[in-house]
Amino acid sequence: MKKGNIFGLHRVITPEGVLPQPAEKIDNTMEIYDNEILIDVETLNIDSASFTQLKSAAAGDATKIKSMIMKIVNERGKMQNPVTGSGGMLIGTVAGIGDRLKNRDLKVGDKIVSLVSLSLTPLKIDEITRVMADIDQIHVKAQAILFESGIYAKLPDDMEETLALAVLDVAGAPAQTAKLVKSGDTVLIIGAGGKSGLLCLHEAKKRVGISGTVIGMSHSDAGIERVKETGLADIIIQGDASKPVELYDKVMEVTKGRLADVVINNVNIPNTEMGSILSTRDDGILYFFSMATSFTKAALGAEGIGKDINMIIGNGYTKNHAEITLQVLKENPVLRKMFKELYI
């Protein structure tokens, strides 16, 4: 077998010298190097911001969505939406293991979920057999490569595959919430009625304790109903996060002018940076999990209004994030039932 670089540099075609994620094109031939894992892929969970953009551009037409995804993968060698820059995750079966990785607790035939983005994963799709636009997933006949530095999780025996994939795709959000929130905090979850938002609600409520407050904010009626059903939000706000002053006024009202200690932004649309910044108190924490976030808008926007807050770009990985996220569904039967209805 040919020797590969730990970070997958050997797969980069253009531009030379960059890592696979920012690369414009990578090599998606499925002959593995000595430090790669070959996966027979069954399902792709497309990042929410990416799928929202694809659905909008295709006017919801499944055939057009298929065509757009195939074009992206054929041109880039990976599923990286050129508009959002984001990817997603996959479920598949291990089909081959490079010689240098034979000592891992992994064998051919194991069913795994990738915990690294499709935006850096070599992928070759033969056919898209089904588009499930309502849950951001597609069924495929495809193969993919996982690098030596790539992380993955074996599918749990006590959970349906599509459910596990749906929650693991956003595992960074609830796990980071668990790290950032402390007892007594006032926490605002923006996009609380969506997949990552609901999981964050659980972790926030668990961490703030009886002296803290969790505010759940959603735009749609359906999202508001899901937040209500969980019983996890002490206060519920309905509004448009892309209208910053409107959101600020509502948060000022419900917090009696104090604003939030921690704000978690989970929305999948652009232009929600300023609403999030305005809603965070001075010296507070703002975590942008949303892949629609613009670093420029956030950095210059905060500077422009003289806001001194700690802004964290949503690293989709934190230690034990898969275990923490799967545990949420084990701890919370209401959320598990809700997710099963949404994603199975």
pLDDT at 344: 76
pLDDT at 13: 97
Q: Is 152's pLDDT higher than 90?
A: yes
Tokens of 163: 């459910």
CA dihedral 69, 75, 78, 83 (to 10 degrees): -60
Tokens of 241: 């996060």
CB 264 within 8 A of CB 204: yes
Q: Is 22's pLDDT higher than 80?
A: yes
State percent of the chain over pLDDT 90. Answer: 88
**What residue segments make up the domains of the chain, in order of their start?**
9-155, 172-343
Place 95 in a pLDDT band, splitting at 50, 70 and 90: very high
pLDDT at 316: 81
Out of 73-82, 160-169, 233-242, which region has the weakest mean confidence (pLDDT)?
160-169
pLDDT at 1: 87
pLDDT at 186: 98
pLDDT at 94: 97
- The residue type of 36 is E
Place 157 in a pLDDT band, splitting at 50, 70 and 90: confident
Place 183 in a pLDDT band, splitting at 50, 70 and 90: very high
Architecture of domain 9-155: Alpha-Beta Complex (3.90)
pLDDT at 99: 95
Count of alpha carbons within 13 Å of 18, Cβ hemisphere only? 12
Q: Is 217's pLDDT higher than 90?
A: yes
Place 200 in a pLDDT band, splitting at 50, 70 and 90: very high
Strand order in the sheet with 137-146: 123-132, 137-146, 37-46, 88-97, 111-114, 152-154
Per CATH, the homologous superfamily of domain 172-343 is NAD(P)-binding Rossmann-like Domain (3.40.50.720)
Name the phi and psi angles at 219, rounded to 5: -90, -45
pLDDT at 226: 97
Q: Which of 80, 64, 180 lies closest to 120 in space, CA to CA?
A: 80
- The three-state secondary structure class of 38 is strand
Within a 10 A sphere around the Cβ of 56, how many other Cβ atoms? 11
pLDDT at 268: 86
- The three-state secondary structure class of 145 is strand
Q: Is 343's pLDDT higher than 90?
A: no
Place 161 in a pLDDT band, splitting at 50, 70 and 90: confident
Q: How confident is the model over 101-147, as pLDDT tens digits?
A: 987 889 999 999 999 999 999 999 999 999 999 999 999 999 999 99
Looking at every residue in the chain, the average pLDDT score rounds to 95
Q: Is 290's pLDDT higher than 90?
A: no
User: Where do we find the tokens 């996959």?
Assistant: 90
CB 183 within 8 A of CB 208: yes
